[in-house]
A and B are shown apart, each in its own frame.
Chain A
Amino acid sequence: MVLAPGYEELEFEPPVAGSYLLPPMGAAADGSVLDTAGVQGRLHDYLGDKATVLSFIFTTCSDVNGCPLATYVMSGVQTAVLDDPALDGKVRLLSFSFDPEKDTPSALGQYGDQFRSADFDWQFLTTHSEQELRPILDAYDQWVIRDYDEAGQYLGTMSHVLRVYLIDQDRQIRNIYSTSFLHADTVVNDLRTLLAE
């Protein structure tokens, strides 16, 4: 197993923040969501007022270069933002589960408590059901295959291409990162670029 670049030092000097463009890639979709207290809301309630990094995960994901990578990198982003007065208070992290069956609000809350600093705006969201989840995944083009056994029983695992989204204050998607691309330094650089616009 080769670890993703996001677990190691960035091998290159990223371009100077603000010196490059992040052209809009389309609107970030809305949908019905649950927070870790089980309170129902809209995904758009969490988008628009801050630059946001959104990742789709499930807490039982075992592929080290999948969801754990996303959470590891977002943890690094959290640290960098807390250390930078120019960013602090202007960035939100969203970890969105695509397993409503296992990732109940309380389960997701316990998962999030392992990573979230008490003074940081890192939200963990789930949904009531597959029916509420599906249109959100479709809108973000986040493709997931649920794994079933021969009797049709859900195995609790999913196949997916890791995607993490950078979303601006106008709820526009401005970048998408996958396993080979995702690194805290790059994401923070992009956040600085967005907030300097």
Chain B
Amino acid sequence: MIQMLRAALVLLMAVIAPAALADETCMSPYMAKIVGQEDYVYIWTLGMEGVGDGEDKLVTVDVNPESENYGQVVHSLSVGGRNEAHHSGLTDDRRYLWASGLDTSKIFIFDIHTDPAQPRIHREIDDFVAKTGGIVGPHTNYALPGRMLITGLSNNRDHGGRTGMAEYTNDGDFITSVWMPTDDNLQGAVKSGNYADGYGYDARALPRRNVLVTSSFTGWNNYMMNLGKMMSDPEAMKRFGNTVVIWDLHARTPKKVLDVPGAPLELRCAWGSRSNYCFTTTALTSKIWLIYEDDAGEWQAKAVADIGDASKIPLPVDISISADDNHLWVNTWNDGNVRLFDISDPHAPEQVFEERIGEQINMVSQSWDGERVYFTSSLLANWDKTGSNDDSDVQYFKLFKWDGEKLTPDFSLDFVAMGLGSPHQMRFGAHALYGKPAAKVDHDSMAAR
């Protein structure tokens, strides 16, 4: 018990940003981190018509190998209807999980600390569009001190890509919103290239440098459209983001708009105490881009590596950076592969590993030590494949063990066969975060780095 509580202390005090913090490797630097064995993975799951109750749901999988329920779904909480469940994020104290819907713009706040094995609904935000002045499609739920930053994908005027960001208290009360800089209104930002499109997607902070970085995808009209129809519509294909914006984190004002053409999606910033850079990948041009502060203190963007053969449209989706900043996992949705890049020289990443994980691989989350790598499959309801070739492996949650050279399959759950739906974002939970014992947990493994 004492050891467990000491572990909790380590976890809760470990909120200092610079020194290597690991999905664990991809979250807010303000947040407590699970540095040992995670107990649960919470999977925000899209409802599928005809599969189970058809509703979006938060699915809890027990992933502690010492548990008798290892590798099993131990809880499923449906939220009523389908919202285009997509991303989720934890509050800075890690007591609540925010999960948002891109279609309905609803946000569901789950209490995961009262009983980490059985999340419950704490609050539902159903007036996001009205409160934010027209932002549609809440995407990234990112922890800042005592509050959540929510990026949007669209707006309620034309349902295109121009959008903004909102802030809420941890309890779910609206604080403020800000729109992305555009040619019409740069809000004081410097347009450094050809674009100031005002699109949004992901956000990450480097508090030590007072920098917030945002990326850009596409609006509701596109992400809710059938994929084949959109791909054959030249006008629709023009409506993708081509920018990354550098913000003053403290003032929440845009400082510089960088050209990153081809829909830059997930952002992952380095953890090193002197590492002033982040990575993103472009969905349409299949490249890794480095967003970095140069020797003169100017923030720049440059393409630093190709991901597969761009002419075959691999479609890079989620990425995950290792705690030591040396490796980057990159999933490509179209070919079902994961690639590992050596990013020890961030200006010259080199691919060192590639393996097929499964149809329409999308999200990747790794444990703090990098030894466990989790994958899910779903992208968007109207973009996902129907599984005409292999019905048994199109919507999955898979765990692989990584030994530095190869991925070894551990378990795989078929979310369609289980009547759950399409699994998307994964977040980790642990009893020790809340000073509570878990059945058969090796607390000695919950040590500090």
Does A177 reach chain B (CB closer than 8 Å)? yes
CA–CA, A24 to B173, complex, Å?
11
Contacts known (A143-B95, A145-B8); A11 close to B209, Cβ less than 8 A: yes
Q: How far is the CB of B277 from chain A (nearest CB, A)?
A: 15
Residues of A within 8 A of B248 (CB): 15, 20
A4→B251 contact, CB < 8 A:
no
A141-B171 CB under 8 A given contacts A11-B209, A149-B2, A176-B147: yes
Measured CB to CB, the closest approach of chain A to B272, in angstroms, equals 11
Q: Are B19's CB and A161's CB within 8 A?
A: no
Q: How far is the CB of B206 from chain A (nearest CB, A)?
A: 10
Give the number of chain A interface residues (Cβ < 8 Å): 39
Residue A159, interface by CB 8 Å: yes
Number of residue pairs across A and B with beta carbons under 8 Å?
Answer: 114
Residue contact A159 to B1, C-beta cutoff 8 Å: no
Bound state CA distance, A159 and B32, in angstroms? Answer: 11
CA of A4 to CA of B19, assembled, Å:
10
A20-B251, A143-B95, A150-B1 known; A180 and B29 CB under 8 Å?
yes
Question: With A and B bound together, what is the CA distance between A163 and B422 in angstroms?
Answer: 37
CB within 8 Å of A: which of B144-162? 145-147
Q: Which residues of A contact B175 (CB under 8 A)?
A: 23-25
Interface string of A127-154 (1 = CB under 8 A from B): 0000000000000010101011110000
- Cβ of A5 under 8 Å from chain B: yes
CB < 8 Å neighbour of A159 from B5, B176, B209: B5
A159, B250: Cβ atoms closer than 8 Å: no
Q: Does A108 contact B (CB under 8 A)?
A: no
Summarize A's interface: helix, strand, loop or mixed: loop
Residue from the set B17, B29, B32 with the largest chain A CB neighbour count within 10 Å: B17
Query: Which residues on B sit within 8 Å (CB–CB) of A115?
Result: none
Q: Is the CB of A176 within 8 A of B146?
A: yes
Q: Which residues of chain B come closer than 8 Å to A65, judged between CB atoms?
A: 13, 15-16
Docked CA distance A179–B146 (Å) = 12
B210 at the interface (CB under 8 A from A): yes
CA distance A142 to B251 in the complex (A): 24
Smallest CB separation, A24 vs chain B (Å):
8
If A25-B146, A65-B13, A177-B145 touch, whether A159 touches B273 (CB-CB below 8 Å) is: no
A14 within 8 A of B: yes
CB pair B32 A161 closer than 8 Å: yes
Q: With A11-B209, A20-B251, A26-B169 in contact, do A147 and B9 touch (Cβ < 8 Å)?
A: yes
Cβ-closest chain B residue relative to A157: B9
> By the criterion CB–CB under 8 Å, are B1 and A149 in contact?
yes
CB pair A186–B250 under 8 Å, yes or no, is yes
One digit per residue, 1 when the CB lies within 8 angstroms of any chain B CB and 0 when it does not, for chain A 159-197 equals 111110000000000001111110000100000000000
Which residues of the other chain, A, contact B93 by a CB distance below 8 angstroms?
Answer: 141, 143, 161
Looking at A19, A177, A178, which has the most chain B CB atoms within 10 Å of its CB? A178
List of B residues within 8 angstroms of A5 by Cβ: 17-18, 207-208
B5 touching A163 by the CB < 8 A rule?
Answer: no
Q: Is A76 on the interface with B (CB-CB < 8 A)?
A: no
Closest approach, in angstroms, between the C-beta of B227 and any C-beta of chain A? Answer: 39
B23 interface hit (Cβ, 8 Å): no
Task: Give complex CA distance A143, B93 in Å.
Answer: 8
> Taking the complex as formed, is A37 at the interface, i.e. its CB lies under 8 A from any CB of chain B?
no
Sample of 14 further A-B pairs with CB below 8 A, known A12-B209, A179-B15: A5-B17, A5-B208, A14-B250, A20-B248, A21-B176, A26-B173, A63-B9, A145-B435, A149-B2, A159-B5, A178-B145, A180-B15, A180-B30, A181-B207
Q: Which residues of A approach B to under 8 Å, CB–CB?
A: 2-5, 11-12, 14-15, 19-21, 23-26, 63, 65-66, 141, 143, 145, 147-150, 155, 157, 159-163, 176-181, 186
